[in-house]
């Protein structure tokens, strides 16, 4: 077969999505031109969702066929796990689109929707690459869309500030990442992860390799918002249009963590070192252990003092990034499965949480605790969903967040010799006790406090309602029956 056509077939989901972007932009400029923003949003989102469904269908069918292919030496890998991740990313995008449709933050509907889709394409390319060059390109492609999305709330000066901050930090971290990659290429003469590992074998811990490890951690630490590279996150989450923040917190996390785990466990195989208590050896796991510990502690403690729920979710995202890093440094197949289960369920939960915040923000004009007061009376279904999402983030069984924590933490403890990694898990569990407090404070506002007298019931637009109900159902379902997800990982 013509090799070009072959690549096109392998990149089918991405190609479908690219066409969708063009269709959405075109429709917004022609058919929907002159309509109200709400109708343009509904129409555009409908087309976008159709495109996502088609792409997911393509990937899903290929998943059934167990296609296994490697094109251009790691530029585009196709295998069932990656196809499943692509389906997950598309599902997350669909949920993001559903909670976006009632947005009042912009008139540039076509651009907004196509940026979300372009970001998704970038993330999909990211998960299917095992070549450093392609990883870098895909990461930057996705990030560029996210920077612009952050700036999309033109009514809010903080939105532009947040975007600028995000962009400057992002540019800096990209430079670090590229620097690290170039050192790796210099040491091993290859940009393919597998060949890098082969090139590193037997060389021991070259000082250059240590620099490469540290700069890679810095680059990805920024992408996943781990301490001390997290400073952009609270501003970006707060300033970005809420559905945009949901997208940053969900899809981009899933893809980044998958690739992060790939780079370290495949590319840096042999340079693990050890993060075992009283037995630490130099390598990448102790570096990640430090970053993870800092993220868990700082993220959770800082979240306590936030009064804006979006900022609170940002700091909690930092803390969750810390838990997830534990899954990366476990560096075992069960650890990776636990990590992916955790990050996917986290993504679903956090979209839900942001969806609720978006509705409350639209109805009450803010996202402080006070705006959630009496929510259980003003919108009983909405506050029940909020309760499910926040309790899942806090790790209360039988919700997905708890099951994820159990799978992840047990895999991490199992990975260290002689319970050596237990100290990290104890830290994580102690810190999740802290997190319970601030999630409960939000729920207290919703369930215990009363709304101002005469506050009307809050109407939830139907696409958002559909998304929230499905997400809440998924959070419960995956918590009770994690096998539904783990069988694909």
Partner 1 sequence: MLAWTIYITFIGVLVLMLLPRDNARAARIVALLTAVAGCVVAFAGAIQQTNPGEVTQITRLDWIPAIGAHYYLAADGISLVLVVLTGLAAVAGILFSWNIEQRTKEFFAFYLVLIGGVYGVFLSFDVLLLFVFYELTIIPKYFLIARWGSTRKEYGAMKLAIYSFVGSHLVLIGLIAAWVVARAQLGHATLDLTELAKVSFPPAFQYWVFPVMFIGFAILAGLWPFHTWAPTGHVAAPTAGSMLLAGVVMKLGAYGCLRVAMLMFPEGVRDWQWAIALLAVIGIVYGAGVALVQRDFKFVIGYSSVSHMGFVLLGLATLNTLGLDGAVLQMFSHGIIAGLLFAVVGRMVYDRTHTRDFNDLETMHLGRRLPYAAVTFVIAGMASMGLPGFSGFVAELQVLMGAWLVFPKLTLLAGVGILIGVAYTLRAIHKGFYSDAPPAHAGHDHPLEPISVPERFGAVLLIGAALVIGLFPDLLMNWIEPCFKSPLFERLLKGGAL
484 part of the interface to partner 1, by CB under 8 A: no
**Residues 371 to 410 in contact with partner 1, rule: CB under 8 A:** 376, 387, 391, 396-398, 402-403, 406-407, 409-410
Residue pointed to by tokens 């058919």: 31
Binding of partner 1 by 160 (CB under 8 A): no
- Tell me the closest approach of the beta carbon of residue 397 to partner 1, in angstroms: 4
Q: Which is nearer to partner 1, 130 or 306 (CB)?
A: 306
Please, are residues 11 and 76 in contact by the beta-carbon 8 Å criterion?
A: yes
d(CA 79, CA 67): 6
**Where does this chain touch partner 1 (CB under 8 A) — which range of 46-54, 146-154, 162-170, 437-445?**
437-445
DSSP E strand boundaries for 384-462: none
In 3D, which of 175, 163, 58, 59 has the Cα closest to residue 115? 163
Q: Check binding of 241 to partner 1 (CB under 8 A).
A: no
Does 426 contact partner 1 by CB under 8 A? Answer: yes
The answer to whether 288 and 272 are in contact (CB under 8 A) is no
Is 194 or 397 the residue whose CB approaches partner 1 more closely? Answer: 397
Beta-sheet pairing, 76-78 with 69-71:
antiparallel
Pattern 331-350, partner 1, x by CB under 8 A: ---x--x-------------
Binding residue for partner 1, selected from 281, 433, 457, 473, defined by CB under 8 A: 433
443 to 472: interface string for partner 1, x by CB under 8 A: -x--xx------------------------
* Three-state secondary structure of 106-167: CCCHHHHHHHHHHHHHHHHHHHCCCEHHHHHHHHHHHHHHHHHHHCCCCCCHHHHHHHHHHH
Q: Does the protein bind partner 1 through residue 419 (CB under 8 A)?
A: yes
Q: What share of the chain is helix, strand, coil (3-state, %, to 5)?
A: 75, 0, 20
Find how far residue 380's CA is from the centre of its chain.
28
Stretch that binds partner 1, among 197-205, 243-251, 323-331, 417-425 (CB under 8 A): 417-425
Closest distance to partner 1 from the beta carbon of 167 (Å): 39
**Of 46 and 406, which has the nearer Cβ to partner 1?**
406
Query: 58 near 12, Cβ under 8 Å?
Result: yes
**Contact residues for partner 1, defined by CB under 8 A:** 334, 337, 376, 387, 391, 396-398, 402-403, 406-407, 409-410, 413-414, 419, 422, 425-426, 429-430, 432-433, 436-437, 440, 444, 447-448, 481-483, 486
């Amino acid at each position: 077969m013509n090799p070009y056509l072959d690549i096109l077939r392998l990149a089918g989901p991405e190609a479908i999505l690219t066409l969708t972007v063009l269709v959405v932009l075109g429709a917004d400029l022609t058919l929907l031109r002159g309509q109200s923003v709400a109708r343009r949003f509904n129409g555009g989102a409908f087309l976008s969702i159709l495109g996502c469904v088609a792409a997911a269908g393509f990937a899903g069918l290929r998943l059934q066929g167990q296609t296994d292919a490697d094109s251009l030496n790691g530029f585009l890998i196709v295998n069932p796990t990656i196809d499943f991740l692509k389906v997950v990313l598309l599902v997350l995008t669909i949920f993001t689109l559903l909670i976006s449709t009632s947005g009042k933050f912009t008139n540039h509907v076509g651009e907004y929707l196509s940026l979300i889709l372009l970001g998704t394409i970038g993330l999909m390319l990211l998960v299917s690459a095992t070549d450093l060059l392609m990883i870098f390109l895909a990461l930057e492609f996705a990030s560029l869309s996210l920077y612009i999305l952050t700036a999309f709330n033109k009514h809010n000066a903080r939105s532009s500030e947040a975007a600028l901050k995000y962009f400057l930090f992002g540019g800096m971290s990209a430079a670090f990442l590229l620097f690290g990659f170039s050192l790796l290429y210099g040491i091993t003469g290859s940009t393919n992860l597998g060949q890098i590992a082969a090139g590193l074998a037997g060389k021991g811990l070259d000082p250059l390799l240590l620099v490469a490890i540290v700069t890679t951690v810095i680059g990805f630490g920024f992408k996943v918002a781990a301490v001390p590279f997290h400073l952009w996150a609270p501003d970006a989450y707060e300033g970005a249009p809420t559905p945009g923040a949901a997208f940053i917190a969900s899809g981009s996390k899933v893809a980044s963590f998958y690739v992060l785990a790939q780079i370290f466990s495949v590319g840096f195989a042999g340079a693990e070192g050890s993060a075992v208590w009283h037995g630490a050896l130099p390598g990448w796991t102790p570096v990640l252990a430090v970053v993870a510990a800092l993220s868990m502690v700082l993220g959770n403690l800082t979240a306590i003092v936030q009064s804006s729920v979006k900022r609170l979710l940002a700091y909690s995202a930092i803390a969750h990034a810390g838990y997830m890093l534990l899954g990366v440094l476990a560096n075992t197949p069960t650890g990776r499965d636990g990590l992916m289960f955790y990050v996917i369920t986290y993504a679903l939960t956090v979209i839900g949480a942001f969806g609720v915040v978006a509705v409350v923000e639209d109805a009450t004009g803010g996202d402080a605790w006070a705006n959630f007061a009496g929510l259980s009376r003003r919108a009983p279904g909405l506050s029940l969903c909020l309760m499910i999402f926040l309790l899942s983030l806090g790790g209360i069984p039988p919700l997905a967040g708890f099951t994820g924590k159990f799978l992840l933490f047990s895999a991490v403890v199992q990975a260290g010799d002689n319970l050596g990694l237990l100290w990290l898990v104890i830290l994580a569990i102690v810190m999740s006790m802290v997190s319970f407090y601030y999630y409960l404070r939000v729920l207290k506002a919703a369930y215990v406090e009363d709304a101002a007298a005469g506050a009307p019931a809050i109407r939830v637009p139907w696409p958002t309602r559909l998304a929230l109900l499905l997400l809440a159902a998924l959070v419960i379902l995956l918590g009770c029956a994690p096998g539904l997800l783990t069988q694909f990982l």
